[in-house]
Every structure is written in structure tokens, then in C-alpha cells.
Amino acid sequence: MGSPRVVVGMSGGVDSSVTAALLKEQGYQVIGMTLRLWSEEHLGLDNRCCTTDAVGDARSIAGQLQIPHYTVDAKQIFHETVVSAFIEGYQKGITPNPCLTCNRHIRWGFMYQRARALGADYMATGHYARLRENRNGKVQLLKGVDPDKDQSYVLYMLSQDDLRHTLLPLGDYTKYEVRKMAEEFQLPAAHRPDSQDLCFLGGDDYRDFLLRNQPTVHHPGPILDTEGEKLGEHQGLAFFTIGQRKGLGISPPRPHYVLGKDPERNALLVGTRDELGQSSLQARDVHWVSGSAPEAPLKAEIKIRYTAPAREGVVTPQPDQKAKVQFPEPLRDITPGQAAVFYQGEICLGGGIIQGTSP
């Protein structure tokens, strides 16, 4: 007793295993927890985050580290929040990012509650991001030191209360170092490859997933160019994303790109490479990590996708948790439904969901 109690979300993978091992070494009273998430079990597909194997792996790694481990079922709430929002988003013509919903509602919601129920002072995950308390007692969210692995993008929505009860020990290390540590701790997951696709797709294509789970996404409509001329037909707006070139099925003299979607007319808007690009975006549900929006517009670096490099721009806070972001040059892949996350240097200031764009 005495030492702080921390619940570590364990997936059986290398990052969360090293997280647990590090915290144990630092003297915390560590408890492992694995969530069972939803997947299309009837197809024999496992949720990648928690295949039966992965749950077993997590349990055996916890055994090896001599920490207790519990599996908690989160299938229903995961489906009700994350999966349905994913499907609905595509139906509405946006490109949702389910990892954001998951972190908000599942990890720092459902799981955090359960960690508290186990009497934990903290919850820890294997995300590559750092936390630092500044002089005013606020917790800052910082990029992870490994520029290739930084995951602060998917954590921008955490509140001060969340952050105060969160530990992210991997933010101080590179992935290479984490793999080395996994070897030193003799964790079996040391060599397991990282996976990028969405956990509940079970390796399947998202389009097939949508067709199975929401057949109405198959909804043919016109492909229009910027003049309003019909160039062809698409099979459903959900199957396209901004900036996409392949798979349009039109063969005009020059290649065409997806510029946008018009859900009202069920039209896919395409144009040439020169026409692609927007220099400002509107964000909704904007969250500021400090807990309050800045008073004036501010210069920042903005990431418009998890994998996009940060670009300089000006963020203007607006009422009703909105913000406008202005870039000096048009960007080609601003995608409604993804997050725009604001940085100043290594500090993540906050972010919001991209709602719309303008030239």
C-alpha cells in the first residue's frame, strides 16, 4: 500500500506492456486492464486491439510482470459510441476518426471510470506523448520525443482532470528505445509489428465494412466538376475521401481529384490538381487543453490529420466551441470529420473536428 495505484490499459502489444513494466519499476502499484471491444464476431473477425490472443497475451504479460490483470467487457458501449459514430459520419459525407471518439468515450470515459472503481489514482496508456505541469498548476500536453511516433494528435480532447490522472511514460522515449526496453524486460511482444488500420475492421477494408453494416451507404449519384458538369457516376459518397484520385472511374484528359462532397445532392465534387486545396477551415467541438480558449487569434502549427505534418497558420477562437484556422497557402487534404490539432512547438494547445473549408 502507500504507493500510488495506476491502471494500465494493456493490449498485449509492445507499447502498453513496456508502459506497465516501466511504471512497476518506478514503484507504482500497477494493475493491468484489457478492454474487450466490439468486432464483427459472426464473421470470425477479431477486434485487433483485443483478439482472444491479445487478451491472453496481456494476461500472460501481466503474469510475467507479477501485476494483477482484469479483462473488462466494453463491446456494447464501444459499438454504441465509436462504431455507430463511424458509420453515421460516413453516411453524412464526412471521414470520421474513430480513435478520437474512442479516447474520449472509451479510454478516458468508460475505462477511466473502471480504473477509479478499482481505487486507482491514475490511468496510464502506451501513447507517445508527454505531460508536464506548468507554473500555474495546469497540466500541459506535449508531443512525444519521437517525431515519427508522436500521438498527441489523438489526445488533444483530454480535460485537465483527465490529464491530472493520466500517466504517459512512453512519451520520453523513441519507439526504438521502447523496443529495446521490451527486450530488456524480456517481454514477448518486443517484436510484434505495429498496426495502423482501425481496430474494429479486423484487417478488412472500411468500404466492405460499411456495406455490411450500413448497406444504405451504397447510394449512386453524380460526379460533378467545378462547372457543375456531370463526369460520371459514383456508388456512394462514403467510398471517397478528399484528395483521392484513384477509383473515380472517369477518364478525362487530365487526372481528377475528389475536392469535396455535397451530401444534399449526393454529388461527388471533383476537379483538377490545381483546383484542389483550401486555405481555411472551420472546426467544431474545439477543446483547449488549458481549459479555456485564448482571447485573441494566435499563430500556431496545425495538424489536419494524424499523419500530416504540422503547418503554420492562424487559429481564431470563436464562440460555441468553434474556431477558424487560416493557412497562408491552400492545403490539399483538409478533410471534414478529421481533427485539426493546434501546436506551438512541442505544446499541444488543443483542437477540434473539421467541419468545413473555404478557399
Partner 1 sequence: MSDVYLDHAATTPVDEKVLKAMQPYFGDIFGNPSSVHTFGQRADAALQKARRSMAGTFGCQPKEVIFTSCGSESDNLALRGAALAARDQGKGNHILISGVEHHAVTHTAQQLERLFGFDLECIPVDRYGGVNPDSVAERIRPDTILVSIIHANNEIGTLNPISEISTLCRERDVLIHTDAVQGAAHFPLKMDDLKVDMLSIGAHKFYGPKGVGALYVREGTPLIPVQTGGSQEFGKRAATENLPLIVGMAKALQMVHEEADQRLKNTQKLRDRVISNVLGAIPDSTLTGHPERRLPNHASFAFQGLDGNLLVSALDVEGFACSSGSACKTGNPEPSSVLLSMGFDRGWAKGSLRVTVGKDTHQKDVDVFLDVLPVVVKRLRELT
Q: How far is the CB of 185 from partner 1 (least distance, A)?
A: 20
Please calculate the CA angle 273-306-285 and round it to the nearest 5 degrees: 100
Q: How far is the CB of 71 from partner 1 (least distance, A)?
A: 3
Q: Alpha-carbon torsion 225, 230, 233, 238, what sign? A: positive
Q: Residue 199 catalytic?
A: yes
Q: Alpha-carbon torsion 283, 349, 306, 201, what sign? A: negative
Choose the catalytic residue: 49, 50, 99, 199.
Answer: 199
Buried b (16+ CB within 10 A) or exposed e, 178-203: bbebbeebebebbebeeeeebbbbbe
Choose the catalytic residue: 49, 50, 99, 102.
Answer: 102
Q: How far is the CB of 68 from partner 1 (least distance, A)?
A: 4
Closest by Cα among 262, 258, 260, 238 to 248: 258
Q: Which is nearer to partner 1, 146 or 162 (CB)?
A: 162
Q: Which is nearer to partner 1, 123 or 154 (CB)?
A: 123
Q: How far is the CB of 183 from partner 1 (least distance, A)?
A: 27
Pairing mode of beta strands 257-262, 267-271: antiparallel
Q: Which is nearer to partner 1, 56 or 147 (CB)?
A: 56
Rounded to whole angstroms, the Cα distance separating 331 from 70 reads 45
Q: Which is nearer to partner 1, 5 or 322 (CB)?
A: 5
Q: Which is nearer to partner 1, 70 or 306 (CB)?
A: 70
Rounded to whole angstroms, the Cα distance separating 35 from 30 reads 16
Query: Beta-carbon neighbour count of residue 119 at 10 Å?
Result: 10
Give residue 213's Cα distance to chain centre: 21
Q: How far is the CB of 47 from partner 1 (least distance, A)?
A: 13
Q: Which is nearer to partner 1, 26 or 60 (CB)?
A: 60
Q: Which is nearer to partner 1, 49 or 347 (CB)?
A: 49
Q: Residue 102 catalytic?
A: yes
Query: Beta-carbon neighbour count of residue 96 at 10 Å?
Result: 20
Residues that bind partner 1 (CB under 8 A): 5, 31, 34, 36, 52, 55, 59, 68, 70-73, 113-114, 116-119
Rounded to whole angstroms, the Cα distance separating 23 from 162 reads 18
Rounded to whole angstroms, the Cα distance separating 7 from 111 reads 9
Which active-site residues does the annotation give? 102, 199
